[in-house]
Each structure stands twice: as C-alpha cells, then as structure tokens.
Chain A
Amino acid sequence: AQSVAQPEDQVNVAEGNPLTVKCTYSVSGNPYLFWYVQYPNRGLQFLLKYITGDNLVKGSYGFEAEFNKSQTSFHLKKPSALVSDSALYFCAVRDMGKGRRALTFGSGTRLQVQP
C-alpha cells in the first residue's frame, strides 16, 4: 500500500527566510509525487510534480521540490518565503506501476510566514 508522511503539523518561518516542508513516501513501485496547496475556503491547488528526470523540480509561485530516492523524500522548498505563502500544504503520491490513478495524501502541514 502507498503512504505519505508529513512529520510537521506546522512550520513557522520569517518572511524572506528559506522554507522547507517535509514529505516522505512509501510505494511498492516508482512514484509520481505531487505538492498541493490549500488556501482558506479554496480547493487544493496544484503546485508541482515529480515524474522522472531531474531530482529538482520547479513549480508555481517560486516553489521547488527535491526528489530523493534513497531517502524516499520529496521536500518542498522556497528560497525566500512570503507572508502570502501561509497556507496548508499537502504532499501526495501515486504508484506509477500499478495503473492506479488514486492519489494518497499526507496529513498536511500548515505553513505560517511571519512578517
């Protein structure tokens, strides 16, 4: 069975500082990995994905994520946080090998960026 862990319920960072939101995953085959962001009263917005190729993927709003196969991790990063980045972030995985499309989500990490 596939699973995702987001070990931090909340991450606090000062505006202008780099941020990291952690995610580790478990799948039996090769993973498709995704990050989504949720603002209040909004749906889940797609940020970025890893399918294959470069381990560092770039996405919307200056976010990037690094795929690390040996550590089974896909941490979300941004060099300089903005107050407007404050939101709930979800990591999700899909097992490439089984022909399934269902996403398995982590429990979410609330990012709080202080001015």
Chain B
Amino acid sequence: EPEVTQTPSHQVTQMGQEVILRCVPISNHLYFYWYRQILGQKVEFLVSFYNNEISEKSEIFDDQFSVERPDGSNFTLKIRSTKLEDSAMYFCASSAGLIDHYEQYFGPGTRLTVT
C-alpha cells in the first residue's frame, strides 16, 4: 500500500538555524499538506499546496516558513531561523485530487527539537 514518507525521523537543531524537513507524498496525489503537533497539544494545520503554489495557510505559517516541491516527488518544509517554540512533531500529508472530500494520508512525522 502506498505511503507518505518523511525524513529525517528526528532532527535536532540550535535556535536560529535553518532546517528543511522532507516528505515524499503518495505518487499521483495532487494536494500536499504540513501539520504540526507540539507535545501534548492538538495537531495543527500549517499549509496546503497544490499546483506548485500555496492554496491555504494558517496563522502559524508566517514568513519564517516556506514550502517547495523541488522535483516530481519531494515536498519540503523550510524553517528559516528556528525558535524554541518550533519544537514539535511535523506531519506531512497528501490527498488524491480535485474531488473535495478525499481523505488526507499522513506520514510518520519528523520530530524537531530546537535547543
């Protein structure tokens, strides 16, 4: 069964450093997403991406964040200058297509620790 994959599984970085989290969505999916879950809190939506542009973003997704689909398979989330409060589990997801109600399939997550 096709899966969303994410690398690395755990990333430790120092405050102020840039990090790039990587995801490979399910092939032939058209919509891609990033969510995050701070320890002990809810899963929160960050951004959705379709047709090589951001289609929706939350208030959390400020200028420090960016997303990119650099090739036909990868989808990345970049945090330019990490803060302590960026420590969280980051989940990538993808969904099939233009029909509205397609469910989102999630990867296993990248745990980001900012020290």
Contact = CB atoms under 8 A, between A and B. Distances in A.
B43 A43 contact: no
Interface in B61-115: 91, 93, 95, 100-101, 103-109
Nearest to B89: A43
B55 interface: yes
Contact of A43 (B95, B100, B107): B107
Interface residues of B, number: 26
Given A101-B33, A101-B95, A102-B56, A41 B45 contact: no
Nearest to A39: B108
B4 interface: yes
B14 interface: no
A46 B4 CA distance: 12
A46 B56 contact: no
Given A101-B48, A105-B43, A42 B56 contact: no
Contacts of A104: 45
Nearest to A41: B108
Nearest to B45: A102
Interface of A: 32, 34, 36, 41-46, 49, 51, 90, 92, 96, 100-108
Interface of B: 4, 6, 31, 33, 35, 41-45, 48, 55-56, 58, 91, 93, 95, 100-101, 103-109
7 contacts: A44-B93, A44-B106, A46-B106, A90-B43, A102-B45, A103-B35, A108-B42
Given A43-B6, A101-B48, 5 more contacts: A42-B108, A43-B4, A43-B107, A101-B104, A103-B43
